[in-house]
Amino acid sequence: MLSSKILIKPVLLILKLKPTSAFNFVKWTQSFSNSPHALPSSSALIHLLPRHGVFGVAAQVFDEMVNHSGANIDVLEVFSEGFSDFGSNPDVVFRFLFENYGEKEMVVVDMAFHVFMKMAKEGLCISNNLVHREGRLDEGEKLLSDALDRGVNLDVVVFSLVMDAFGEVGNLERVVQLYKRMLEEGLSPNMVSYSILISGLCGNGRILKACGIFGQIIKRGFEPSLITYTSLIDGFCKMGNLKDGFHLFDDMVEKVHQPDVVYNVLLDGLCKEGMIRTALMFFFNHVSRGLKLNIFIFNSLMDGSCRLKQLRNSLKVYMLMGMYSIQPDIVTYTLLVRGATKQGKLDDGRLIFFQMLKRGFLGDATMYCNLMDGFCKYKIPTTGLQIFIVMQRNGVAADIAVYNVLLNMLLKECYLAEASPLF
């Protein structure tokens, strides 16, 4: 019988740059013993295969290893021994183990905890993908909680990663709980954890609490990040508190931050408050200072003008886009068509609509619904029906709002024959 202890490891070292050949060799040796790969062989292959991007085969080897070894913590020691032999990246190997153990039944899932602990102790990269993958955030938080309960010292980076994962799904309550637990563990927040907390608070309208955290940042001598400023300014603008938003903006500019993203937030805030003249002055003032223009800025200005029933100004902004070589998007056309139809300027709305089609945009159900509703209100059902036909030809699926408008239009004008097929 072939001696795997004598032959397999030296051969795998020779084949470490040829992962497929290494796998085929181990598979060949397995045919002599009619048993799954021995743990050292499985470990060697998992060192080699992910390193070369052969993840599917590596997962197959992993499954055989688990079926043979189960939840055996000694596995990690075997893997640790392989780094010097195969020159593999610990981040890649332990990440692979963490993700694959996490897919298994609960008895084996506990191995994911041990891998997590190993990564934390070794100072390896624990990205938020590891705790925010496929909706398994609760498992990620449990790993962190178990680690703390077992006396493992975790740093602020690990806490920040889990906080960020919950922040991305809008779970502010968990973010705050983790922040408090971090403080209980005697850890001092860094700029990243402060930014995550402030972003979550502002997103939930708790601007005063966010300002308190901002004060702690200043008190500790940190320089607030652009993300922090943007979150706070956006929070003030959404509350309609533009004065404090602009005050914070001035403070940010003094600290030499590049505020391109914040321009979008302030312009949108001004437009939503109906301060379109101030928004335009702000726009032209900062364009002359090198403001990097984007479609969001122009759409905000057009939306603000349309809200004030100033279609002419919206069209001027639309023309201005061409001068600055900014291409309109579907939001641009939806804003203009809706603004035109609401003001009863159906010819303008129809012209904008056909310009959109000419540029290759098919539009969406909202766009067609706005147009049909406009023609319905002004008792022009024939044109409304034509718009509906164009919608069908362009393959745009009608929603319930479209059918409501269409039926209302046809029944009001006694087009019963045309209305019947829609029921």
pLDDT at 302 over 90: yes
**pLDDT on residue 114:** 63
Q: Output the pTM of the full model.
A: 0.61
Residue 21 vs residue 266, higher pLDDT: 266
Residue 231 vs residue 40, higher pLDDT: 231
When pLDDT is cut at 50, 70 and 90, the band that residue 59 belongs to is confident
| DSSP letters for 128-172 | TTTTSSTT-HHHHHHHHHHHHHTT----HHHHHHHHHHHHHTT-H
Measuring CA to CA, which residue among 177, 99, 86 is closest to residue 136? 99
In a domain, 234, yes or no: no
Q: How many domains would you assign to the chain? A: 1
In a domain, 307, yes or no: no
In a domain, 47, yes or no: yes
**pLDDT on residue 367:** 87
- Say which DSSP state 113 is in: H
Burial class (CB in 10 A: 0-12, 13-18, 19+), 285: exposed
When pLDDT is cut at 50, 70 and 90, the band that residue 108 belongs to is very low
Q: Residues 44, 7: contact at Cβ < 8 Å?
A: no
Distances (CA, A) of 400 to 215, 333, 366, 378, 397: 49, 21, 11, 21, 10
* Nearest-angstrom CA–CA distance, 23 and 61: 9
SS3 382: helix
In a domain, 33, yes or no: yes
Residue 134 vs residue 163, higher pLDDT: 163
* Nearest-angstrom CA–CA distance, 367 and 385: 14
Averaged pLDDT of the chain: 78
Q: Residues 311, 343: contact at Cβ < 8 Å?
A: yes
Q: What mean pLDDT comes out for the span 143-164?
A: 72
**pLDDT on residue 48:** 78
Position of tokens 């990243």?
Answer: 192
pLDDT at 34 over 60: no
Position of tokens 């070794």?
Answer: 122
Measuring CA to CA, which residue among 9, 114, 111, 42 is closest to residue 70? 111
Q: What mean pLDDT comes out for the span 283-297?
A: 85
* Nearest-angstrom CA–CA distance, 351 and 389: 17
Measuring CA to CA, which residue among 341, 330, 332, 315 is closest to residue 365? 330
Q: Please, what is the Cα angle at 268 between 191 and 244, to 5 degrees?
A: 55
Measuring CA to CA, which residue among 88, 91, 85, 20 is closest to residue 58? 20
Q: What mean pLDDT comes out for the span 212-218?
A: 91
In a domain, 341, yes or no: no
Portion of the chain with pLDDT greater than 70, in percent:
72
**pLDDT on residue 1:** 41
**pLDDT on residue 413:** 60
SS3 126: coil
Q: And the tokens for 255?
A: 């600290």
| DSSP letters for 203-248 | HTT-HHHHHHHHHHHHHTTPPPPHHHHHHHHHHHHHTT-HHHHHHH
For residue 56, the enclosing domain spans 1-124
Burial class (CB in 10 A: 0-12, 13-18, 19+), 230: buried
Q: Residues 328, 295: contact at Cβ < 8 Å?
A: yes
